[in-house]
Every structure is written in structure tokens, then in C-alpha cells.
Structure 1
Amino acid sequence: MTTTVIRNADWIVAHDGARHVYASGDVAFGGGALTHVGGAYAGAADVEIDGRGRMVMPGLVNVHSHPSSEAMNKGFLDELGSKGLYMSSLYEFMPLFRCDDEGREACVQVALSELLMSGVTTVVDLSVAWDGWLDTLAVSGLRAVAAPMHRSARWFTKNGHVVEYEWDEAAGRRAMDEALRVIDAANAHPSGRLSGMCAPSQIDTCSEELIRDNFDAAQERGVPFQIHAAQSVVEFHEITRRHGRTPLQWLDDLGVLKPGAIIGHGIFLNDHVGAHWPEARDFDLLRESGAAVAHCPTVFQRRGITLRTLGRYLRGGVPVGIGTDTYPHNMLEEMRNALTNSRVVSRNVYDVATSQVFDAVTTGGAAILGRSDIGRLSPGAKADLVLVDVAHPAMRPLREPLRSLIYVAAERAVRDVFVDGRQVVADGRALAFDLPAALDRLEAAQRRAEAAFRQLDYAGRSHEDASPFVYGRA
């Protein structure tokens, strides 16, 4: 077993068994696990890393991400929402700007590289299963949870203000069977870094049976369950129209709003200003259920939508993890947005603290995934760790290193990342993929998606009509 020691780190975000604490000194690891955190390490070392000018912190846990599609939407969805569908982009635009099979792997390589370079060491990948998926996750070096999305219906609009659903429950059942095969393969993967999650796509596109059976399958396999729910006004109205129940009430009726379940987004509770459904108690229902929420602020803030509020959920005891969902796949910026949005909506700087958000992306995210061996730096935990350059200009003047990192420097100060004791980012560069080449392939896929856009759009618009450039062409 090779032992690596980071010597004389200026700052260490260590874990004392109850909480994160600042320390300094040495961090040692070998065999994929941490053996020493803080103070002087007196044992033998095969590899030594100079920790001077560095902060060592636990790798970040991302509980909700879409690497196989979102990276290609850059420049298209940044300020685009459906005026007739409560400003969401889900129904009118996202189905039309598609990453083809040729571009998908490049899209994934770009997204996973971005995640690694922002300090993520564990990611939940919510994607429709594709050939080569698990191999690509394994090559990335990440600790990855494959969550194969599947559904009973697709959504679409013929006019930009009414969402319709095309149902094929047999196809949904076949997709679930395939998803379970992928989950079982991930759990058995020889890397030891992959696992699975049951992930029926959305509450409004999945039949009652598909949701229940997925939750039962997750319980049988001992894996988490995640579903997009309470994520849009359209969905809130659709579920109340069908069932006379809010999305969270309906999940509770199905018997799946309980520990082990993760609600993707969980924004539109009955008391949200966009819902106006006063005769329910969704927040109490959520906090009493033990179910968790995957909070992804960036994708929603672009459309003037946010959780109300992150601080309220955390004070209420709701387990909350953070996810990137969209581009940029930058967990540090996502943390900053989570903090800022909660304070703006509450009009209270004390609504949520930096420590609470850092906990959510480390020990909190780990707990949601059923792990106690990631998201912390303590002997025996996995050697998933990040080295931050505290001498970087964006980190200085340095008084409080996590605040400097989250509020200012972000990924620019991330230098090295290790997963299972193996280096996956060196000097700010993800090692698994040729990022410039992947970006070239992704841009080519984006041009193909632009060319196909008009044929897919109900109104026959071009991509430039739907999402105009910031300025017109000369």
C-alpha cells in the first residue's frame, strides 16, 4: 500500500466526529482511505506533497446532475423561458435542443471535467441510460451514482401555453427493467466507485405504478430513490388537476415520501407564492416525512424562481443536498447561489450560514446517499479530498478560507483533487479526458442541434428566433 502525505497544510477542514473544524498540519492516506488528519504525521511516506499555501478540504458531494445533456445548452437557455408556461424552459424548449448520440459522450466528458475541477468527488448522474455510460463514469475517476431516468410519458406543447402528455406505460416498464439492470451493474462495478439509484424521471410523466415499483426496487436493493417533483408551476397544476392533491401530498399518498426518497428540487410547496394552494401543509408534510431535497439554485434563478427558502428547509430539519443540474457544472458557484438566493428571498443575511451550505455539500449530501465514509476528513473515511491554493489572488487577502473560496475564488483556486486516494485533478486540470477535444466535439453537436431545431419546433422557429443572440449580427 502506497502512503501519501500532504505536509504542513496551512488549513485543513477536518471532521471531529460531530462537525467540521479547522486544523492545520499533515494529512495522510493510503489504500483509498485517510489514515491521519491534522497535526504532525510521524509514519513512513512513499509520496509527499507540500501543503504550504494550501487548504485541504473534503471532496464535494453533488446529489443532482445531468451531465449527458446540460453542458450543450450553454448559450441557448441562459435567459430563455416560456412566457405562457410560467417561465419554465422544460416543456417548450428543452426537448427541442437535443444532444445527439455522437455528441453525448463529449457532453458528459465536459460536464464531468467541470465537476472535478470545482472540487466534486461524488456525483449523482441523472441521465437516460446510454451505451458506454458506466465505462465513462469509471474512467472519469469520480465516485459516481448512476441514476437511469425513465418514464411512462413524454411531455410536449403544440402552442406554447398548454402542456400535453403522450403515454406509453409499456415502454416505461421496459425502460424501468433496463434501468434496474444498469443499477445492478453499477453496484457490482469492479472499480468500487460506482453505485446506482432508482430514478423515475418526473412526477407528472410517471404512472402511479412506475413510481411505487421504483421505490420498492430501491428499498430492496438498498439504494436511494430520486424523482423530480414540485419543480414547476405547470407540474403543480397538472398534479392538482389530476388528483386534487399537491405533488408532495400525492407522493405521500403513494407511500414514497419517506426516508430514502430524494425530491428533485422540491420548490413548489403549497405555500409557495407561485402555487397559491393554501389548504395544505406541504412543508410540515415534508419535514415529518424524512425525505430529502436536492436543491439546484442556478438553473431556476435564471428564470426568477427559487426555493423559499433554503434556510427555512434546514431549520425545519429537512435533509437538503446541493446539485448542479445545469451548466456550468461548478459546485462552488452553486453553493454561492444557494446562499445568495436564500438571503435575497428571506431579506435576511442570517437566513442561512456558509457552514450550513458547506455541510449540505459534504456530510449532508453523503448522509442523503446513505454514506458516512465520504464528505469528511477523518481517519477511516475515503480519501476523497481537494487542495485549494490559498495564495491565489482571488483568495487574498485571506482571513476566512471557505468564505474566500465560495464567495470569490470558486474553481480558480482548486489545484488538486483526489478520489479514493487517486489523483484526478492536477494543477487545475482534470486528468481523465482531453477537455479541449471534448469541447470541440460538443460545439459540433451544438451546431447540429441548431440545424435540427426548426423541424422539431411546433411553431417552426429557428434556434435564433427562439433564443436570439445578445446583439444582432452586423
Structure 2
Amino acid sequence: MPGSGDGLDVVEGATVLVQGRHILDVVRGSAGVDARRVELGEGILFPGFVNLHNHSINGPIFRGIVDDVGPEATADDLVYSMLMPLGDHAGTVLAEDEIRAVYRLALMEVLRSGTTTVLEMPRAVHRSFFAVAKELGLRVFGAPYIFSRPTRGVDAAGNPVYVEIDENRSLSDALEIADEYDEGPEGLIRVGFGPHATDTCSPDLLRRIGHEARDRDTIVSIHVAQSRIEVNSVRERYGRTPVEFLHDTGLLGPNVVAAHCVHAEAGDLDLLRESGTTVAHCPLTFARSGVTVSFDRFHRHGVRTGIGTDAYNFDYFAEMRAAGFISKLTSGDSDTGNASTLLRAATDVGASALARPGLGRIEAGCIADLVAVDLSGAHLQPVRDPLKNLVWNATPADVSLVMIDGKVVVEGGAILGCDESGAIRSATAAVHKLWESAEREGILAARGCGLRA
């Protein structure tokens, strides 16, 4: 349970009483009440992970494509020449039931990793994301993509090709999704705004999104300084860094989650901190391409920093550990990125970024989003410090129970009400269909790193 500062309070032998959607009380010892009991034994109960940046459709369709791609394929190359075109292609090639199958596979992985809340940036054509999330009982903050000038691959020199579209239509599509799926402040599904990035959205569009988000009291999620290409494009157009550009348009603040900020400058960090903007830190995405991004750089600067899994793999334990290890390596300080700091970033800090009171904590009156991890495995025994065992050694396979909004959705390691084997088969068939089509279209090479030939 979150305590003061970066520390967490650990209570041994406690009982958490849940009534309806909320935690009724936390008591010492065994509670003498007439209710269903779940005994954890050698286990630890903690608030569910809040994943602050995710692209569910991308994990399955990028699997095995983004790894070990060689020095000729930088992180920027991957984003502009293959990842975005392949994601767009999925919306044109796959039928609705196939898109839904891929989302189901991805969200199964999300749930199994102990994530109870996810901030997702789906493409507007992928409305089925919300239906699948509702089906599985996941808490979702959706931020559908909005564009002024999306990219359509790269030119012969490797520069992204920007294509002007009707930004009014792009915004209205997102508003339609919000009107259809948003369940209000108390609901499991909230819909905000997802302007794609600072190089793909105009200043006017960003200002309008800021006004809409304030009027609807909802969140904005946007990619910021994630690539040198983005940074250079924004500086060339506006003479500003991406963070300065957002500041000028009024799109920084407590309701904004800025994904990545890999190339943020020192002055940018000041703007992020002073505005109360949250950085969604996703270290593994960039580590795959040999790029080091340190959680500690943001955290030490006083920037509110949560953790997301982004687009390739949804193992939240692995992402949290990567944030810690990279912080230690870059700082040379073994206590940097410690277990309590990371776990708080993964729970309470993430919940604060989404302005959802009662999330991310285990206290009377809080929302009953809870995860239990079995600590009895050989890799987790013996237990001297349960928080350190949880952060540095646990895996999704150790998650024994997931409760969201007071309802158990994962029990005994199985997702309730879900034909997992069938879901895997359906999604696999859909992704193979997409890959074959992408190869024919020249988006994906038949072998190798998967970059455009």
C-alpha cells in the first residue's frame, strides 16, 4: 500500500475486505465475516498495475519482427517505415472479427501481467478494442488516434512522407467513439483524446483537443520527442522542441500523458514538471533498438513518471524491471530505480495521472482493483523483502488473481469466461493473414528485419 514519499507500507497477515466495487476495510489478522474468502498463503496482494501507454493491436502483429533488426534499422526507421504502415494496413485487411481476435490475444497478455488499468491509443477504425476490453472486464482509458498529417511510409532518402488529411473528420471520429463508449467518471471505460504526435498534428488541432478535453474532463495522450525525426520536424516547422510546442498550444497539464520523451531537453523537463504533465516511460521499446532511456532522469527532475508497455510486449513486470535496471546502469547508483519507487510509479502515480480517485491504493474506500502474486515458487523463495521479490523476480506466470472493480477476472492464473486456446488460434490466423498481405504490398519483407525493401 502506498505510503509517504516513494516508500510503501507492507502489512503482513492482513485481510482486505471488499464490498461491491470498493475496499471496505483492511484489518489485521483473519476477519470474522460471512463472506467468500481467498487465502493467498505465500502471496502478496497489491494494487493493480496502471499501464500508462499501450498499443494492444501492435504486440501480436509486431511479434518477432522488431527484434534483432541490425544497425541499419534505428528506432526511427522502425516507427516510420514499417510499424505505422503495418498498423494502418491491419485496419484495411482484417475483418472486424479478426481485429477483435487480435485485441483479445493482446488484452489476455495485459491481464495476465497484473495490469488492471490501461491507457490505450487505438486507431479510430479499431472500435472493437473497447468491446473486447469490456468483455474481459479491463479498466480502460482510451485515447483514439487523431491526426492532421499522418505518415505514409518513407521516401527513398528514408524521410517520412506526411500526408495531409481532414483533421476535422479525424477529431469528429474520436468524438463519436467517446460519445458511444465513454461510461463517465465512475465507469470502467473512459474515452479521451489521442493526438498522435507533435509532428503529425497541427497547432490548431492540438488547441481544439485541449479545449475538448477540459470540457469533457478527460485525458489526453500524445507521443512526445520519441524520435529524432519528430524533434527535427517540429524544430524545422516551429523553431521549438516538441515539449515547447505543446506548451505554446496549451496542451501540457495534469490531464496530459506524454509518451516516451526520449529526446526531451533539460528545459523540457522543467516545463513537464511545472505543468504537472505525466511522462509515460516505456524503456523496453527503445532498448530493443539499442537506445537507452532512464526512468531516473525524469523522476529525479521531479516529473511525474509512470510506466507503460507500449507496442511490442505487455509483460509489465519486465517493463518495470527494465526501468529499474536502466536507471541503475545510467546513474551508477544501485539504489536508483529501487523497488518501492518503481512499484509506486506502476500503481499510485499512474492512477494519479489518470485523475481517477481511489485507484492505485489499498485503503478503505478505494476501488477494489487488486492483484495477487504467488510467492511460493522456487525463484521467489525464500522471502526476506516481499516488495523486492515482487519487483525483481516475479513474472506474469506468478499472478494468481486479478480483481477489477470488485470482480475477479483472473483466478488460479486463468482468465475467467475466456476460451484462451480458441482466442490464441483465432488471433494467430488473423496475424498470419495480415503478414502475408503486408509482404505482397511491400510493407513487410518476407524474411529479415521486416523493413520495407
The aligned counterpart of 2:150 is: 154
Kept after mapping to 1: 8 A contact 2:409/2:415 = yes
**Which of 269, 281, 287 pairs up with 2:273?**
287
- Paired letter, 1:33: H
Report matched runs for 1:187-198 at 5 Å.
187-188=182-183, 192-198=187-193
Report matched runs for 1:260-339 at 5 Å.
260-270=255-265, 281-307=267-293, 309-339=294-324
Separation in 1 of the partners of 2:119 and 2:259? Answer: 12
The aligned counterpart of 2:9 is: 21
The aligned counterpart of 1:423 is: 408
Q: In structure 2, do the counterparts of structure 1 residues 454 and 408 end up closer, same or farther at CA, with 3 Å as the change threshold? A: same
Between Structure 1 and Structure 2, the one with more strand by share is 1
- Paired letter, 2:40: G
Kept after mapping to 1: 8 A contact 2:102/2:431 = no
Q: In structure 2, do the counterparts of structure 1 residues 187 and 449 end up closer, same or farther at CA, with 3 Å as the change threshold? A: closer
Residue 223 of structure 1 aligns to a residue whose secondary structure is coil
The aligned counterpart of 1:175 is: 170
* Equivalenced residues, count: 441
Separation in 1 of the partners of 2:321 and 2:150? Answer: 34
Q: Deviation per CA, 1:136-185: give whole Å up to 9, x if none.
A: 211111111121112112212122621121111x2x21121121122233
Kept after mapping to 2: 8 A contact 1:59/1:385 = yes
Q: In structure 2, do the counterparts of structure 1 residues 191 and 247 end up closer, same or farther at CA, with 3 Å as the change threshold? A: closer
Kept after mapping to 1: 8 A contact 2:67/2:449 = no
Is 1:49 aligned to 2:38, yes or no?
yes
- After TM superposition, give the deviation of residue 433 of structure 1 in Å: 2.8
Q: RCO (CA 8 Å, sep 6+): is it higher in 1 or 2?
A: 2
The aligned counterpart of 1:358 is: 343
Report matched runs for 1:59-458 at 5 Å.
59-80=48-69, 83=72, 87-97=76-86, 98-99=89-90, 100-102=93-95, 103-129=98-124, 130-155=126-151, 156-159=153-156, 161-168=158-165, 170=166, 172-188=167-183, 192-270=187-265, 281-307=267-293, 309-457=294-442
Mean Cα deviation higher: 411-420 or 435-444: 435-444
Q: Which runs of 5+ in 2 are unaligned?
A: none
Q: Deviation per CA, 1:49-97: give whole Å up to 9, x if none.
A: 2232221111111111111232221111123378376654101111343
The aligned counterpart of 1:471 is: none
- Paired letter, 2:10: Y
Separation in 2 of the partners of 1:313 and 1:285? Answer: 12
- After TM superposition, give the deviation of residue 22 of structure 1 in Å: 0.5
- After TM superposition, give the deviation of residue 186 of structure 1 in Å: 3.1
- Paired letter, 1:220: D
Separation in 2 of the partners of 1:86 and 1:466? Answer: 12
**Which of 443, 446, 453 pairs up with 1:463?**
446
Q: Deviation per CA, 1:223-269: give whole Å up to 9, x if none.
A: 11111111011111111111111111111111212222111111111
Q: In structure 2, do the counterparts of structure 1 residues 466 and 387 end up closer, same or farther at CA, with 3 Å as the change threshold? A: closer
Q: Deviation per CA, 1:187-239: give whole Å up to 9, x if none.
A: 33799211112111111111111111111111111111111111011111111
Q: In structure 2, do the counterparts of structure 1 residues 284 and 17 end up closer, same or farther at CA, with 3 Å as the change threshold? A: closer
- Paired letter, 1:162: N
- After TM superposition, give the deviation of residue 132 of structure 1 in Å: 3.1
- Paired letter, 1:420: D
Kept after mapping to 2: 8 A contact 1:68/1:108 = yes
Give the TM-score of the pair, scaled to structure 1. Answer: 0.87
Separation in 1 of the partners of 2:127 and 2:351? Answer: 28
Kept after mapping to 2: 8 A contact 1:84/1:161 = no
Separation in 2 of the partners of 1:45 and 1:238? Answer: 63
Residue 140 of structure 2 aligns to a residue whose secondary structure is strand
Query: Aligned-pair RMSD on alpha carbons?
Result: 2.2
- After TM superposition, give the deviation of residue 436 of structure 1 in Å: 2.1
% of aligned pairs identical? 30
Give the TM-score of the pair, scaled to structure 2. Answer: 0.91
Mean Cα deviation higher: 420-429 or 72-81: 72-81
Separation in 2 of the partners of 1:467 and 1:164? Answer: 19
Separation in 2 of the partners of 1:363 and 1:296? Answer: 17
- After TM superposition, give the deviation of residue 466 of structure 1 in Å: 4.1
Residue 397 of structure 2 aligns to a residue whose secondary structure is helix
Q: In structure 2, do the counterparts of structure 1 residues 164 and 87 end up closer, same or farther at CA, with 3 Å as the change threshold? A: closer
- Paired letter, 1:177: S
Separation in 2 of the partners of 1:244 and 1:95? Answer: 26
Between Structure 1 and Structure 2, the one with more helix by share is 2
- Paired letter, 2:447: E
Residue 180 of structure 1 aligns to a residue whose secondary structure is helix
